[in-house]
């Protein structure tokens, strides 16, 4: 393995660790708030990825297209979670 590959592996492990930290934080989130928090996180990630794509990727290149596909997927997932959050809030209001 080359040195750059090892560095990439270290960054991947760091990212996995941070994902684990995020999961642990979200475990403390009340279930009725989890969908809204998830939507916000996905929206933030899509925004960050869009900015990074605009800054670092060639606009018409294959990398930009792959990243745009990821961004679109995050936006669609965020919308689904937002809808779920609204439905959960409606159910909570009806029960009270």
pLDDT score of 16: 96
Tens of pLDDT, residues 43-69: 999 999 999 999 999 998 999 999 999
Interaxial angle between packed helices 62-95 and 31-56, expressed in degrees from 0 to 180 and rounded to the nearest 10? 160
The per-residue pLDDT for 10 is 94
Strand ranges in the chain using DSSP code E only, listed in sequence order: none
For helices 31-56 and 3-27, the axis angle rounded to 10 degrees is 150
- Name the stretches of the chain with pLDDT < 70: 1-4
pLDDT of residue 1: 47
Q: pTM surpassing 0.85?
A: no
User: Can you say how many angstroms the Cα of residue 42 is from the centroid of all Cα atoms in its chain?
Assistant: 3
């Amino acid at each position: 393995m080359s040195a750059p590959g090892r560095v990439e592996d270290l960054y991947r492990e760091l990212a996995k660790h941070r994902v684990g930290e995020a999961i642990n934080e979200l475990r403390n989130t009340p279930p009725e708030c989890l969908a809204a928090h998830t939507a916000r996180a996905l929206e933030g990630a899509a925004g960050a990825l869009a900015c990074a794509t605009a800054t670092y990727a060639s606009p018409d290149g294959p990398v930009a297209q792959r990243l745009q596909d990821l961004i679109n997927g995050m936006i669609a997932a965020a919308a689904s979670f937002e809808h779920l959050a609204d439905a959960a809030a409606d159910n909570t209001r009806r029960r009270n």
